[in-house]
């Protein structure tokens, strides 16, 4: 079957890295491993320049109809002054909200060839392969009331509301257990049940789903602050870590830095399965932004974007073997010492965005 992909390159280095992602998709097509139909549209500042909105209704429609969305990056100083609702990030937030992308997957993989680039010791991170699963559409970033009020005595009081329902916790828990089954079969659920009611409910619901629906998957509970400490002490103890929006924001950034450069980190955001087809809405994007400081100079590392394609193969198209092949090609290319500037040692030779893409294609060809 042919898979229908919407490509949203965006701003800054977005179009450069998307070009390399397209090359990878074409290769899988030519090889007959899978066939893709792609459509490309504007998002972010590029869309604002064209139509005054960070994403148009036509593009939203395309995103809704696509099997998956590949997103580059948005933003840049050029759009600093645009109205708040039209700012480049609004395009991404609208996609997340309208597609109901509640599950954010952020793998932290440490390629052996890059283990010395981590801020931790080689033996702590070498071969690391963990996945942080962050709830993305609920919790304290969205809960109401959310306000700053002035009290009678003139003091101000700020309120944010951490709010989770059973349903929201159940659906993210199921994603965590399903993912663990395809990996090392272990889920670590991080919350703060010792001081937060939402942590108590989170703990109860995850426990119940685990017992009733996934008795074969190992489940442990960890306090979120301890989890941050453990991630830096011995991250290989984890497989899938599931947590709420706020803790996930922080823990995924901690995990990211275990592995080296921003230019290497992919992510996926998934929605609920369609009741009839089982297909989930999904968006794949690098963790990094539009890197205006290096845009247009062929300096960007395309690996985060290319690895995001790998996640699409794995999680949207059921092409786990193709995704494994792509990961292997990336690891092999790094092992030969091929580096873009962001991951090269100071003073050593670096390749361009396009040369890195070509090296990965060439490696795929030889595997």
* Residues annotated in a binding site: 76-89, 96, 106, 134, 225, 249, 253, 289-301
List the one residue from 140, 273, 292, 354 that touches ligand NAI (CB under 6 A): 292
Could you please report the per-residue DSSP string of 278-296?
-PEEEEEEESS---TTTTT
Contacts of 204 (CB under 8 A, 6+ apart): none
Rg of the chain over CA atoms, in angstroms? 21
C-beta of residue 164 within 8 angstroms of C-beta of residue 216: no
Smallest separation, CB 287 to ligand NAI (Å): 7
The site partner of 291 among Mg ion, ligand NAI, none (C-beta below 5 to 8 Å per kind) is ligand NAI
Smallest separation, CB 81 to ligand NAI (Å): 13
Q: Which helix (H) or strand (E) holds 307?
A: helix 303-315
Among residues 141, 160, 186, 208, the one annotated as catalytic is 141
C-beta of residue 311 within 8 angstroms of C-beta of residue 268: yes
* Binding pattern for the stretch 323-342 against ligand NAI, x by CB under 6 A and - elsewhere: -------------------x
Nearer to ligand NAI, 203 or 290 (CB): 290
Nearer to ligand NAI, 161 or 352 (CB): 352
**Short-list 314, 307, 247, 305, CA closest to 109:** 307
* Binding pattern for the stretch 5-24 against ligand NAI, x by CB under 6 A and - elsewhere: --------x-----------
How far is the C-alpha of 18 from the C-alpha of 29, rounded, in Å? 16
Sole window of 194-202, 291-299, 318-326, 328-336 interacting with ligand NAI (rule: CB under 6 A):
291-299
Among residues 253, 274, 328, 362, the one annotated as catalytic is 253
Identify whether 297 is preceded by a cis peptide bond (ω within 30 of 0).
Answer: no
92 is an interface residue for ligand NAI by CB under 6 A: yes
List the one residue from 15, 23, 75, 260 that touches ligand NAI (CB under 6 A): 75
User: What letters, b where the CB count within 10 A reaches 16 and e where it falls short, cover 108-131?
Assistant: bbbbebbbebbebeeebbbebbbb
For 187, phi then psi, to 5°, come to -115, 130
**Which residues of this protein are in contact with Mg ion, per CB under 5 A?**
249, 253
The site partner of 75 among Mg ion, ligand NAI, none (C-beta below 5 to 8 Å per kind) is ligand NAI
Q: Which positions are annotated as active-site residues?
A: 141, 192, 225, 249, 253
């Amino acid at each position: 079957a042919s898979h229908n992909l919407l490509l949203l390159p965006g701003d800054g280095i977005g179009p450069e890295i998307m070009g390399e992602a397209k090359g990878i998709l074409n290769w899988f097509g030519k090889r007959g491993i899978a066939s893709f139909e792609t459509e490309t549209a504007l998002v972010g500042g590029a869309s604002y320049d064209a139509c005054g909105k960070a994403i148009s209704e036509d593009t939203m429609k395309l995103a809704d109809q696509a099997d998956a969305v590949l997103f580059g990056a948005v933003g840049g100083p050029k759009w600093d002054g645009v109205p708040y609702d039209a700012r480049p990030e609004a395009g991404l937030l609208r996609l997340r909200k309208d597609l109901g992308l509640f599950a954010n997957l952020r793998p932290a993989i440490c390629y052996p060839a890059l283990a010395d680039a981590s801020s931790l010791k080689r033996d702590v991170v070498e071969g690391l392969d963990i996945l942080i699963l962050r709830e993305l559409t609920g919790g304290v970033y969205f809960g109401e009331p959310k306000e700053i009020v002035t009290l009678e005595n003139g003091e101000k009081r700020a309120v944010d509301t951490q709010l989770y329902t059973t349903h929201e916790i159940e659906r993210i828990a199921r994603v965590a257990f399903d993912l663990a089954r395809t990996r090392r079969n272990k889920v670590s659920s991080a919350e703060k049940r010792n001081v937060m009611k939402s942590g108590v409910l989170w703990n109860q619901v995850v426990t119940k789903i685990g017992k009733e629906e996934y008795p074969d998957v190992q489940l442990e509970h960890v306090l979120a602050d301890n989890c941050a400490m453990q991630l830096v002490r011995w991250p290989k103890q984890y497989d899938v870590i599931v947590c709420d929006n706020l803790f996930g924001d922080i823990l995924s950034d901690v995990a990211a830095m275990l592995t080296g450069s921003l230019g290497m980190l992919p992510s996926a955001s998934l929605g609920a399965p369609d009741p009839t087809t089982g297909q989930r809405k999904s968006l794949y994007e690098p963790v990094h932004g539009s890197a205006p400081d290096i845009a247009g100079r062929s300096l960007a590392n395309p690996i985060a974007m290319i690895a995001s394609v790998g996640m699409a193969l794995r999680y949207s198209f059921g092409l786990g073997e193709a995704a494994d092949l792509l990961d292997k090609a990336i690891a092999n290319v790094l092992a030969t010492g091929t580096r873009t500037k962001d991951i090269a040692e100071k003073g050593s030779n670096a390749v361009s965005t396009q040369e890195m893409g070509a090296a990965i294609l060439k490696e795929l060809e030889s595997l």
